[in-house]
Amino acid sequence: MDKGRIRDDMQRRANAWAGGPDLTNSPPPSRDDSQAVIPRTSSASGMERQGGMEGPLPAEVRALIHGSCSGEAAEQAEVYARRLLSTHRRVRVYREELSAAVEEVDDIKSVAKKNTLVCDALKQEITSIDAKIQMLLNERQMCQVQLESEARNLARNEGKLNEGDRRVEVLRNTIDNITRETQRGHMLLRQLVPNLQIENYCT
């Protein structure tokens, strides 16, 4: 097998892995197009490998990309755009989960506060009942049972509250990490397509 066929075969495999079209038989880019191609960094290569798994780009986004660059630069811009759109969708889902988790934590806090007030009131009543005569011992015993029940409810709610707090923290950290990861993609896409505001298409 000659060197030209080996090179073409390697190019087809690389494009298939990155999710891009077969550029083996495509004409070479013009001088302006070749200058628009940015260097392939490790993070860019990672985004290209995942680009094939993202959904199709909106027609308007593709038009803006191919109106600003062509050849390998357009292919890279499409990969970045698909990746960023997918990331924005993921962030939206995480934000919805975070909102639900925060609401759940607030509800648990409200119930726990009520349990605490009930327990405090019952403890004061127990102190008062202890000073009464023997005929009130039955009433004291009933209050003691109720106090133990409320204390168990409070303990259960405290466990739920701790779990909810951990979930909120994990979701916040996840969103922060994703936001940091996308900053480079935003910069690279803006260099390739200055007039593309990718956030406008994250519906």
Give me the DSSP letters along 101-131: HHHHHHHHHHHHHHHHHHHHHHHHHHHHHHT
Tell me the pTM: 0.36
pLDDT at 203: 64
User: In whole angstroms, what is the distance from residue 75 CA to residue 60 CA?
Assistant: 15
Per-residue pLDDT of 70-119, as tens digits, reads 999 999 999 999 999 999 999 999 999 999 999 999 999 999 999 999 99
**Residue with the two structure tokens 């060197």:** 3
pLDDT at 96: 94
Closest listed residue to residue 60, CA positions, set 192, 196, 190, 187: 196
Note the helical H segments in the chain: 3-18, 31-36, 42-51, 59-68, 71-130, 137-192
User: In whole angstroms, what is the distance from residue 155 CA to residue 147 CA?
Assistant: 12
Report all structural domains of the chain as residue ranges with CATH numbers, in order of start: 40-201 (1.10.287)
pLDDT at 12: 53
Which residues, given as ranges, of the chain have pLDDT below 70?
1-55, 203
